[in-house]
Each structure stands twice: as structure tokens, then as C-alpha cells.
């Protein structure tokens, strides 16, 4: 009888634990988290409903950020669609590397938002045809820092902010804005 009671309790607590873990992950900002609870009872219905809700939140989140990225790219016809392509390509490269879903989400969002700081660059510099002078070049090189300032209140994961702030850094230290190596 004790074994039967243990088995029944485990069949209830295990799916609930999965659901709680997924809810905690989503509440921390990991919209890729799913409970994957598939039982034929009310807990299964709750798990499926939670997973559908998380899926919709993730799609809406990405779509909203994608719209913002499109607005960024609309300022400069030369780079139209660039941020969406960077986000998509970053996601696909991460997927091919076998990265987990949260990392893929960070790559996509970071790619979409990497140039958000260009909003803070005046049009005479951003849209200038031809070569930039040294002062204009220094202004353009501040767009990653401007992007971080724009996003500081957005409560994005640190991985996304690292992409926005460091997308022009280079392994040899010759990148910008900090010259990190």
C-alpha cells in the first residue's frame, strides 16, 4: 500500500514540479521555457495551457523587438532589414551549434537590437554618403554605448546587453567602443 501511495504522489508532484520550474524560468525572463507536462488529467491541461501561453509571449516579445529593429533600420535605407537578418542568422548559427533555447533567444534578440544605438546618431553622420571624418567616426563608434543606455531599463538578459554593447569589439582589441580583446 505504501508503494502505491508513493507512486500516486510522484505522478502528481513530478508534473507539478516541472510546471513550477518552467513558471519560475519564465518569470525570470526566459520566455523559451516550457513545462512539457503531458498528462491526461487537469495537470496536463494546465501544463499545455502554460506552454501555449509561454509560446505566445515569446512570439509577441520577438515580434515587438523585431518591429523596433525595423524602425531602427528604416532610418537608413542602406541597412534596411539588416537587424532582422543579423537576428535570424545569429539564431540559425546558434541552432546549428546546438545551443540551448535560452541562448538562441539571447542571440536573436541581441541581433535584432545590436544597432539600436544608431537612433542616437544624428542623420548628417548616420546617412552621410562617402567616407566619415575622424570626428564622425568617433560618433558612430559610440552607438553600442548609446544602445546600452537606451536599453538599461528594459530588464533584458545580460547576454543580450553584451551583444548590443560588444558587437564591434574584436578578438585582437582593435574594436570599439572599449577596445576589448
Q: Which residues are catalytic?
A: 118
With a CB cutoff of 8 Å and minimum separation 6, the contacts of 44 are: 15, 37, 38
Q: How far apart are CA 55 and CA 49, in angstroms?
A: 10
What sections of 75-113 are H helices per DSSP? 82-96, 101-113
Q: How buried is 140 (Cβ within 10 angstroms: 0-12 exposed, 13-18 middle, 19+ buried)?
A: middle
Number of C-alpha atoms within 13 angstroms, CB side, residue 31?
A: 17
- Record the cell numbers describing residue 79, joined without a space: 541597412
Amino acid at each position: 500500500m505504501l508503494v502505491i501511495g508513493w507512486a500516486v504522489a510522484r505522478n502528481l508532484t513530478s508534473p507539478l514540479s516541472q510546471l513550477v520550474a518552467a513558471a519560475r524560468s519564465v518569470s525570470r525572463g526566459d520566455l523559451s521555457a516550457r513545462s512539457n507536462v503531458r498528462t491526461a488529467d487537469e495537470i496536463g491541461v494546465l501544463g499545455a495551457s502554460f506552454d501555449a501561453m509561454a509560446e505566445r509571449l515569446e512570439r509577441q516579445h520577438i515580434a515587438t523587438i523585431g518591429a523596433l529593429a525595423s524602425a531602427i533600420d528604416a532610418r537608413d535605407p542602406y541597412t534596411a532589414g539588416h537587424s532582422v537578418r543579423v537576428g535570424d542568422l545569429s539564431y540559425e548559427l546558434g541552432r546549428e551549434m546546438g545551443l540551448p533555447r535560452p541562448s538562441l533567444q539571447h542571440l536573436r534578440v541581441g541581433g535584432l537590437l545590436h544597432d539600436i544605438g544608431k537612433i542616437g546618431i544624428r542623420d548628417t553622420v548616420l546617412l552621410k554618403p562617402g567616407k566619415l571624418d575622424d570626428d564622425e567616426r568617433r560618433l558612430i563608434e559610440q552607438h553600442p554605448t548609446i544602445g546600452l543606455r537606451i536599453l538599461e531599463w528594459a530588464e533584458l538578459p545580460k547576454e543580450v546587453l553584451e551583444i548590443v554593447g560588444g558587437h564591434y569589439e574584436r578578438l585582437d582589441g582593435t574594436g570599439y567602443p572599449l577596445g576589448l580583446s
